[in-house]
Structure 1
Amino acid sequence: MDELLAPAEALIGIRSTADRPGELHRALGLALDVVGPGFEIRRFESRGKPSVLVTHPDRPGQPRVILNGHLDVVPGTPEQFRARREGDRLYGRGAHDMKVAALVLATVFRTLAEELPYPIALQLVTDEEVGGFDGTGHQVGWGVRGDFVIVGEQSGLRVVTESKGLVRARVIASGQTAHAAYPWLGSNALLTLLAGIQRLMDRYPVPAEEAWTTTVNLARVETSNEADNQVPADAVARLDIRYPPEDRDLTGRSAGEIAAHLRSITGLAVVVDSVGTPHRADPDSPQVVALRAAARAVGGSGELLRKHGSADSRFYFPHGVGAVIFGPSGDGQHGADEYVEISSLQPYFDALSLFLHDLRDQPRAQPSVQPEKSKPT
């Protein structure tokens, strides 16, 4: 995997955040350069977010395996977009989440797409960090399917068969403006908002330690008020909610139903901007069993994990497509000291290769839900 370090450092140097569409295209182009020529590239774009599905022209049909990676990152300081190596660690924004893993997936595809007797695909997207609806979600909406999907998010060569769903919502409070010296003449929307948010946090308290439960992150509080001596008449809180499949108040609910649920708790107006379903794959499926065995064969534990963060695997779950998260080792994603362990890249490549070779002897998976041809949302 030494050949990947130079393009990995170059990719980390690209500020591929949601607000930089040109950089998203640059990151995608660099990854496709690693894939190389000779493949069919189906290009997609939704709301300025580009993505591709790469296949081999001599292997038509639905892919038995889709290798899914995202090339976008969360914002960071300028220093975080300058890759640096310290011992076995490659530091930089996106090193662990998940630019380097995406390049490994691209290399696996380049190496094996022609050699394997069945079709595989490489799916590269640029919007996972802002919800995934314009990348994987968009492609699935246009009918992209596979028998099995491996999302290369970080997992330390363990296999993630469950991940939480995601709700992005706004809680809105109204009040009445007044001079700050006479607050009794007005109604402070910020105070009303914070009281409603406190009721929500009482219902979903922050766990003292890791727990497989619903969590609510108060990401931002906003008001149009700009004067210190004025009572604010409006306020909005932005929420990021993660929930496991077991939460029946949220799982399987529409945006409207979830808004009504949150409104009943906060006592305030709620707008749900997006809903992502939880994800679960059958741990006893032949593909999961084979992937775990491949991970163990290269020195990994291959143990099963649950993932608190959402991933693009959730877009395949409603269509009965088995999807797991399986990636290299590292730490610090979204943090100041994000890194990937360089020594985990070769075992990661080897495990994926072994799995794909072993798959030729297995019968094709049948989806538990018949795939539907749907339009993208």
Structure 2
Amino acid sequence: MKRPGLLSAVTLRDRRELPGLSGVARVDRDTDALLRRVGVREIAVLDQIDLDRTTADALIAAGVSAVVNASPSISGRFPNLGPEALLAAGITLVDGVGDDVFRRVRDGSKLRLYDGGVFLGEHLVTEGVPQSEDSVADAMEGAKRGLANQLEAFSANTIEFMHQDRALLLDGVGVPDVRVPLEGHHVVVVAGGTDHAADLAGLRRYIKEYHPVLVGVGAGADALWEGGYRPDLIVGDPADVSDRALTCGADVVVPAFADGHAPGLLRVQDLGASAVTFPASGNPEDLALLLAHHHGAALIITVGFQASLAEFLDRGRSSSNASTFLTRLRVGNLLVDGKAVAALYRSPVSAGAVLVLVGAVLLATLTALLVSDAGPALLGYLERVTSWVTHSVGGW
């Protein structure tokens, strides 16, 4: 029998707080599947070379405490924006730990990160590079030199995409019919990109005045719902959209392969909703733009889309970028960024300034009346009103 107050060496070791950051590991090579499972204060273990901003934003929204990447988050091919966003949100990033992490770390296990090391308890599983703001800034500076090679590859993929989807781009072959009227209407297309919620909120006055057709692309459908709107049209993989949005009565368009097979169609049908397929190799954002353009939209306003060169290349998918480039050329001058529309609707005159202006006009009018022939009569009227008010208050 052990004497009270004495603890074994094993018990002392178990109770000793180990250094570093600890959390439940969520492990998956499929980044999209991982993003659907990972939760608050968990550690995401993934394999994504050149971590993009869209993935980083999804990890931030999920509330993860750390990210362990089997591949380099910045390879140097081009300046991608994901690592910078993670660090700015206070999320630990350990880079380049190698492929063995998927064999040695099981989903749901308790993981500990310390000084670039990945631990299970006290056991070191693998090691990587702990990223910091300075290291990411240095890597980004070097990556800018890789832009020329990326643009050359992009040009080749643009030509290839044009050969594949020429009939769609030029003649609208394969664009499905939808019930919602688009011809002659303004259309707002919302995707789940950077700052999409804030940009959508900035369009509130415009939407109230013009009543545009509201199109949600993937998670953009839920962004519309959370912003107080019901989407009229949903385009994208149903796996990225909530049941609530899919069953709200909106038209649903599911991207499909060239042979017509649409993996996400079954989920919509299981919910009792109807959907049409859109066979094309472009990404859902581009399909939404082509659909609105083909059906005669008068104006297309985008929210949450990639706008700058850095954002454009950040996705790191040359075929997808080629689709986006050619789609924007096809849509042409109908396309307007939501930030620009919000800026036009933002009044530069404050409410206080308006009140001062109204007060000044009233004062000038009163002064003009007093100095005119009607001045004595006006003063007499004001005296009678003042006397009546004083008498009434005194009577109370």
TM value normalised by structure 1:
0.21
Larger Rg computed on CA atoms:
2
- Which structure shows the higher strand fraction? 1
Structure ranking higher on relative contact order (CA contacts 8 Å, 6+ apart): 1
TM value normalised by structure 2:
0.20
